[in-house]
Every structure is written in C-alpha cells, then in structure tokens.
C-alpha cells in the first residue's frame, strides 16, 4: 500500500468505472455500509453509558460541593463533559452520506467532498465549555487568594481552548477533499496537502481503513503544511497525500474514482464547481465496489483495477472491511484492560464484607464466595490463554472421520473462569439471603437471583454452552458458539468476507448470512476468510480437509500476515 510510486501492479484489467454497473453479488458496497453501521452502533453502546456515568458523577460532585466553589465548578465541568460527549457520540453516529459541495477556492469554482461538521463543532464545544469552566474557576481561585491555582487553571483554559480559537478563525477544519482546476487539496484539522493534476501518477484505496493515497510522479511531490503555524512544513515519505476517511460516511473508492476520472480527463475539469460534477459523483457512487484494496495508474488502462462486474482476486477476502481507528482501539483498551477488571473485582468483593463476623456457617461462606468471585474477575483481565491448535475431526486425532474434516477451537479457559465467577456469586447471594433476608419478598428475590446466576455455570458443566468451534469438512462448515450452532453446506455458501475484529461473514443465496468469530482462534482470521471464500466459490475443498498438515499451513499463518491485516 505504501510502495514507491514508481512501482505499480500493471496486470491486464479494466479501467476504473465511473458509471453505474449492473447488480453483482461480488459488490462490496452493501457490506462496507453494513459494517460501518455496526461500528457506529457499537460506539453508541460503549460510549453513551460511559458518558452517563460522567454525568451522574458530575451531578453528585455539584450537589455535594456545598460552599466549596471549586468543587462545584469541577462537578459542573464533569457533568457538562458527560452531556456534551453524549451529544458528540450521537451526532457522529448519525453522520451518514456525503453530498458534493460547490465553493470558490482562490477565486475559482471548486467541488468539495467534506466531512459533516456537526461532530467537529460539537467536540469544539466540549473543549470550549471545559476551557470556560477552567477560566472561571481560575478567576474564583485567584480572587480568593489562591493565585497559584488560579494561574494553573488559566493555563489549562488557554491550552484546552486554543483548538476552538483555531477552528473559529478557519485555521482548523473538520476535513475536506477539494478538486480544483489546478489539482487536489486535502485538509484535516490544521494540515493541508496539495497535489497538482500533472504530478498525480496513481491512486490507491484501502477500504478497511477508508484510506486514500495519492501518489506523485517520480521527481515530483505534493506540498504539505500546517495552517495553524506560519512557515511550518510537514514532509511525508515520497511526498504522497494520505487521506483518512473513516467516519466520513463515504467510501474511499468513490472519492478515488472521482479524482482518477478528472486526472485522466483534463477536458472534464471544467465541470468542477458545477452541477455536472454532482452528476458525475452520483454515477461513481452507484458503481459496484468489488475490491477492498485497489490501485489505479493515471492514464494506464492496464493498471490493476476492475469494472465492477468481475469478482476480486482470490485472497481479497482476507482484507478486513473495517479496521478500528486509533481512538476506538484506545477506548477499548481502557474499557476492557486490566484496570476495569480490577475495579469490577473489588466491587464484587465488597458485598462479602457485610458478612464478616456473622455467626453460623453462612457468614464465612458469603465472605469466601464473594472473595473468590472478585479474585477470579481480576484474573480474567490478566490471563491471555493460548487457543488450542487445529485438530482432525473425529473421536481422536488418530481416528479421523471418513469424510475428513478439521476443527479449529477457541480457548475455553475464559468461559470456565466466567462460570466460576457466576457460581461464586450465586453461592454468595444465597448465603447473604439466608443471613439478612427478613421478609418473604427479600428471600424470594435472593433465591431467584441465585438461580439466575447459576444458569450459565450449569450450561457450561453440562456441555450445552461451548467455546467457539469451527468445523470444516468436505460437505460444509459447522460453527458453534456458546449455545448456538449453524451448519452451511458448501453448495449454499456464496462468499466469505472478513468484516472486523476477526468477524467473518459467510453469505447465503437468499441474502442471509452467518457470522464466524475467528478472532480468538489459533489462526489468522484473514487466512480463515480466504479459505472459506475459496471453498464457497468452488463448491468445497475437494479433498483438502483430509490433509491436516496442509490445512494447518493454510489456516495457521501468523506473524507478519496478522500485522498486515
């Protein structure tokens, strides 16, 4: 993807499409939209509860401040941050679809693809609110005689509010790609990159990251500068322009095709800044997207590309349709890291403290049960069990089934540890109920809660709930996860696609699908998707699943392959 601009795959193919293509089962556009919608919904499910906790915490601080103005300002700031964060998340969740805009750039009309600004300005509003609260708090602290604290809060207000000032004067922007008669301009926050049409040699798109690369010709370069600081330049390797379009609500392929068209057709650049460019955009966005990764050389019809009527190359299924942004990855790391499990473990230990010193056997039972649940919860955040390797299907590795077949499993350690946590909580709940329940309703509620907590441990012990398991043989695939089971003959599988986080979608003829989570198995999810896609397209493995070592080589490729994907 970041190969030198003088090296491009020139295998015979078709030029990039600019017009509508016929309906094609290989079109990835619906899947790309679907997986992006899933990511947006996941963000809402994760971030809105976190913002609600901030709001609650801020309100408690505000009401508990009494006559302490600094604590009151801090509580108001935390509550406001919680409200504003919720607004930002909801606005970003609704940011779908981009319309072309017409603007004047350097006195000439231009066509602009712009990220919706609502989320950007909502974020700026959060920073402005925090800066205002810090400034008011600094003034109050200084007037009360605490000059040092006032100065610190004033500095915080300036640092936090500076991005809002830059946005207000137009030095920082949400993000846009502008096509003019002279070339292509990309702006994001304070960075501006410009490449002239005559310097553009190739266009590369990687839909998993919604990334668009504009490669300059040899001995030329794009210009890069930070608009927030005069005279400061920002150089990139090879002088290429890298456009990150995640959360824009538009596919990088569509923008890349639009740029490619005007690069290859100088006479059509007169359309830019007119309704004709909008019509061209509508044609581009109606064309099929058969590839996750594509590359076009300007003016070379032999470059690697497709016209929307041919399926992608074999192995294309291993490229994910979505790669988490750095912000998403950081938030998930914070949310599900060891600190969260430590906090949950401490919270689970606390109920047992009420039973310390209670007479009879139920006091020690409650203390021990809650302590075990808490310690096991802490351990859940510290262990990373290695999943079992690929094995032959059958009673044993030495006695495989006649139809062949291999089984790929996820580790059951975490599931069993979770079952121990729930069983311990059930015992602790029952013991606490026997100790402290004084009414029939309280006793009945405790018994029902204990029984509910026992459901999952019973399912695990009886084998009704299992770790993830993928069984491949000559007839089809079978996927088991927890208590669900799905079987698909190869004759009914249409294609397989790696979506995100190890999630693989196996398409069916009726438009339905099943999901296979290969993220915690001893295999590269990308390689699993490639193998499943090949079997789906060729009506089965044709004897491959009888070769255990061959399947290991095909599925268990790790290391550089996993990093690349």
Residue 222, H or E segment: none
DSSP category for residue 283:
H
Crossing angle, helix 326-336 and helix 338-353, to 10 degrees? 30
Residues 152-188 have pLDDT tens digits of 888 988 888 888 888 888 888 888 899 998 899 999 8
Asked whether 9 and 303 are in contact (CB, 8 A), the reply is yes
The residues, any chain, with a CB within 8 Å of residue 247's CB and separated by 6 or more, are 92, 95, 115, 119, 210, 325
* Per-residue model confidence (pLDDT) at position 563: 32
Taking Cα atoms as reference points, which of 206, 186, 203, 182 lies closest to residue 194? Answer: 186
Dist. CA 92–CA 78, nearest whole Å: 21
Residues 394-447 have pLDDT tens digits of 654 444 445 668 888 888 888 899 999 999 999 999 998 988 877 888 889 889
Q: Which has more confidence, 48 or 478?
A: 478
Taking Cα atoms as reference points, which of 492, 496, 519, 516 lies closest to residue 506? Answer: 496
Cα dist from 253 to 270, 293, 460, whole Å: 22, 9, 46
Dist. CA 11–CA 555, nearest whole Å: 28
Tokens matching residue 252: 């990088």
Asked whether 515 and 482 are in contact (CB, 8 A), the reply is no
Cα 2 off chain centre by: 22
Mean pLDDT to the nearest integer, 312-339: 62
Q: Which residue has the tokens 């006195």?
A: 107
Taking Cα atoms as reference points, which of 546, 255, 251 lies closest to residue 402? Answer: 546
Tokens matching residue 107: 């006195």
Residues 289-312 have pLDDT tens digits of 888 888 888 877 555 444 333 344
Residue 1's pLDDT band (boundaries 50, 70, 90)? very low
Give the alpha-carbon dihedral of 206, 211, 216, 218, to 10 degrees: -50
Mean pLDDT to the nearest integer, 105-132: 81
Dist. CA 317–CA 523, nearest whole Å: 15
Dist. CA 130–CA 161, nearest whole Å: 8
DSSP bridge partners of 391? 407
The residues, any chain, with a CB within 8 Å of residue 115's CB and separated by 6 or more, are 95, 98, 174, 175, 176, 247, 248
Residue 258 in this model has a pLDDT that exceeds 90? yes
Residue 130, H or E segment: helix 118-143
Question: How many C-beta atoms surround the C-beta of residue 105 within 10 A?
Answer: 17
Q: Is the dihedral of CA 173, 175, 177, 183 positive or negative?
A: positive
Q: Which residue has the tokens 């601009």?
A: 5
Tokens matching residue 405: 């077949």
Tokens matching residue 236: 């990139």
* Per-residue model confidence (pLDDT) at position 458: 94
Asked whether 485 and 479 are in contact (CB, 8 A), the reply is yes
In the chain, DSSP finds a helix count (H) and a strand count (E) of 14, 18
Asked whether 370 and 348 are in contact (CB, 8 A), the reply is yes
Residue 232's pLDDT band (boundaries 50, 70, 90)? low
Asked whether 535 and 493 are in contact (CB, 8 A), the reply is yes
Taking Cα atoms as reference points, which of 525, 521, 524 lies closest to residue 505? Answer: 525
The residues, any chain, with a CB within 8 Å of residue 399's CB and separated by 6 or more, are none
Residue 561's pLDDT band (boundaries 50, 70, 90)? very low
pTM over 0.85: no
Q: Which domains does the chain have, with CATH numbers?
A: 30-99+114-168 (no CATH), 174-318 (no CATH), 336-395+411-464 (no CATH), 468-564 (2.30.29)
């Amino acid at each position: 993807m970041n190969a030198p601009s003088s090296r491009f795959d020139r295998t015979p193919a078709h030029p990039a499409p600019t017009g509508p293509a016929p309906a094609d089962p290989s079109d990835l556009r619906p899947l790309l939209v679907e997986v992006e919608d899933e990511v947006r919904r996941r963000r809402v499910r994760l971030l809105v509860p976190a913002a609600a906790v901030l709001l609650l915490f801020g309100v408690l601080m505000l009401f508990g401040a009494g006559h302490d103005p600094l604590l009151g300002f801090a509580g108001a700031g935390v509550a406001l941050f919680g409200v504003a964060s919720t607004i930002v998340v909801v606005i970003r969740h609704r940011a779908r679809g981009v319309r072309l805009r017409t603007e004047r750039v350097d006195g000439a009309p231009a066509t602009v693809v712009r990220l919706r600004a609502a989320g950007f300005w909502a974020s700026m509003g959060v920073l402005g609110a925090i800066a205002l609260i810090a400034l008011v708090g600094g003034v109050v602290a200084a007037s009360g005689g605490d000059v040092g604290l006032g100065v610190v809060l004033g500095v915080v207000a300036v640092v936090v509010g500076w991005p809002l000032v830059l946005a207000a004067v137009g030095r920082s922007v949400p993000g846009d790609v502008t096509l003019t008669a002279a070339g292509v301009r990309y702006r994001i926050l304070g960075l501006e990159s410009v490449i002239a049409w005559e310097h553009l040699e190739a266009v590369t798109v990687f839909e998993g990251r919604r990334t668009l690369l504009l490669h300059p010709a040899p001995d030329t370069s794009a210009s890069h500068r930070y608009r927030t600081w005069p005279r400061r330049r920002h150089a990139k390797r090879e002088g290429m322009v890298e456009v990150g379009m995640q959360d824009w609500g538009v596919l990088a392929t569509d923008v890349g095709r639009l740029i490619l068209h005007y690069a290859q057709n100088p006479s059509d650049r007169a359309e830019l800044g007119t309704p004709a460019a909008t019509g061209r955009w509508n044609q581009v966005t109606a064309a099929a997207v058969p590839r996750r990764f594509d590359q076009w050389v300007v003016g070379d019809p032999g470059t690697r590309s497709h016209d929307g009527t041919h399926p992608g190359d074999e192995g294309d299924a291993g490229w994910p349709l979505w790669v988490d942004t750095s912000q998403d990855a950081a938030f998930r790391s914070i949310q599900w890291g060891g600190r969260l499990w430590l906090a949950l473990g401490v919270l689970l230990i606390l109920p047992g403290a009420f039973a310390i010193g209670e007479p009879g056997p139920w006091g020690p039972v409650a203390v021990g049960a809650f302590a075990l649940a808490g310690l096991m919860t802490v351990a859940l955040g510290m262990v990373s069990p290695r999943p079992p390797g690929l094995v032959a299907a059958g009673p044993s590795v030495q006695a495989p089934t006649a139809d062949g077949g291999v089984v790929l499993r996820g580790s059951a350690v975490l599931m069993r540890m979770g079952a121990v946590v729930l069983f311990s909580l059930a015992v602790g709940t029952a013991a606490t109920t026997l100790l402290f329940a004084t009414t029939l309703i309280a006793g009945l509620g405790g018994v029902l809660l204990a029984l509910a907590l026992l459901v999952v441990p019973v399912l695990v012990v009886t084998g009704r709930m299992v770790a993830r398991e993928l069984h491949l043989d000559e007839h089809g695939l079978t996927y088991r996860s927890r208590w669900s089971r799905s079987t698909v003959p190869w004759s009914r599988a249409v294609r397989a696609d790696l979506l995100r986080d190890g999630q693989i979608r196996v398409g069916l003829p009726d438009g339905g699908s099943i999901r296979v989570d290969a993220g915690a198995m001893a295999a590269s999810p990308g390689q699993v998707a490639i193998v499943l896609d090949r079997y789906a397209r060729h009506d089965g493995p044709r004897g491959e699943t009888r070769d255990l070592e061959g399947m290991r080589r095909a599925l268990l490729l790790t290391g550089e392959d996993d990093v690349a994907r």
